[in-house]
């Protein structure tokens, strides 16, 4: 079984991002970048399937600037067998990314696509579902448990009221939630090994997909600030403030 894992290079989750002074976009120059945390979980799950002998090959793919090579080297250090970078300097909407990934799936013919449920930069939560729809495949979104069955994958999904289990015919797309696994700590020998693994770089144009979309971001702003709070000394003062000042109890 072949597993394809799309990964995205994003601003590290510990970094607070702010708008540029002209409000045209966010200012991410010189910020620490990492693999999207949800994609790390997808990568970890794919590698576990490989180690369990269920998957025979794990391929990581990223669509982004040249620096996304770093993200793919991380994927290789996790244990991916090879990686593919489709280079573009443009910031593309999920509708376009899903078009490109569908073309990659056409070339690679994986049995399973495992990917993060959302990127923590644009918070869209769209790409996995869009990819599944374009391919005419089933989808298991927000997975917290995954089990391979006979010609199908059984996915436990985190939903608003609790959890729900669905069985998907293979091939399928699964998007990962936080509790699917805890990604491993990558050891130095694996980082060294990753440097020798194949990483193919091609321009995104080579896929021949239309990169236009109907959506664009026109400006960004800080969210409205809350007024500064106060420290209360004890429960009595807290109750008094909630009742008489805030009037919420």
Report 88-127 residues binding other proteins (CB under 8 A): 93-95, 98, 117-118, 120-127
C-beta of 34 vs 98, nearer to other proteins: 98
- Residue 142 found at the interface with other proteins (CB under 8 A): yes
Cα(102)–Cα(97) distance, integer angstroms: 8
- Residue 160 found at the interface with other proteins (CB under 8 A): yes
98 phi, psi to nearest 5 deg: -70, -35
Sole binder of other proteins in the list 66, 91, 107, 178 (CB under 8 A): 178
C-beta of 53 vs 245, nearer to other proteins: 245
Q: Compute the least distance from the CB of residue 149 to other proteins, in Å.
A: 10
Note the helical H segments in 26-140: 37-51, 68-78, 94-108, 127-135
From 64-72, 77-85, 154-162, 189-197, give the range in contact with other proteins by CB under 8 A. Answer: 154-162
Q: Are 68 and 36 in contact (CB under 8 A)?
A: no
Structure tokens, 145: 């448990």
Helix or strand run (H / E) with residue 190: helix 188-194
C-beta of 167 vs 190, nearer to other proteins: 167
Q: Are 156 and 164 in contact (CB under 8 A)?
A: yes
Structure tokens, 172: 């399928």
C-beta of 148 vs 166, nearer to other proteins: 166
Where in 200-239 is the site for other proteins (CB under 8 A)?
213-223, 226-227, 229-232, 234-236, 238-239
């Amino acid at each position: 079984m072949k597993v394809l894992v799309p990964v995205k290079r994003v601003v590290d989750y510990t970094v607070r991002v702010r708008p540029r002074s002209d409000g045209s976009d966010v200012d991410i120059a010189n910020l620490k970048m990492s693999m999207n945390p949800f994609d790390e979980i997808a990568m970890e799950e794919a590698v576990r399937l490989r180690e369990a002998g269920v998957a025979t090959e794990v391929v990581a793919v990223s669509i982004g600037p040249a620096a996304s090579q770093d993200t793919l080297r991380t994927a290789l250090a996790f244990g991916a067998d090879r990686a593919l970078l489709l280079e573009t300097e443009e910031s593309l909407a999920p509708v376009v990314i899903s078009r490109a990934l569908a073309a990659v799936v056409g070339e690679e013919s994986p049995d399973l696509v495992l990917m993060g449920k959302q990127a923590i930069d644009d918070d869209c939560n769209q790409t996995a579902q869009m990819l599944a729809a374009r391919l005419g495949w089933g989808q298991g979104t927000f997975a917290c448990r995954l089990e391979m069955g006979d010609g199908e994958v059984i996915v436990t999904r985190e939903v608003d009221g609790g959890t729900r289990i669905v069985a998907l015919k293979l091939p399928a797309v699964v998007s990962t939630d936080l509790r699917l696994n805890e990604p491993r700590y990558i050891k130095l020998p694996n980082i060294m090994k990753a440097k020798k693994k194949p990483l193919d770089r091609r321009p995104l144009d080579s896929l021949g997909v239309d990169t236009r979309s109907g959506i664009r971001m026109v400006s960004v702003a800080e969210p409205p600030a809350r007024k500064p709070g106060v420290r209360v000394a004890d429960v009595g003062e807290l109750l008094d403030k909630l009742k008489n000042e805030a009037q919420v109890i």
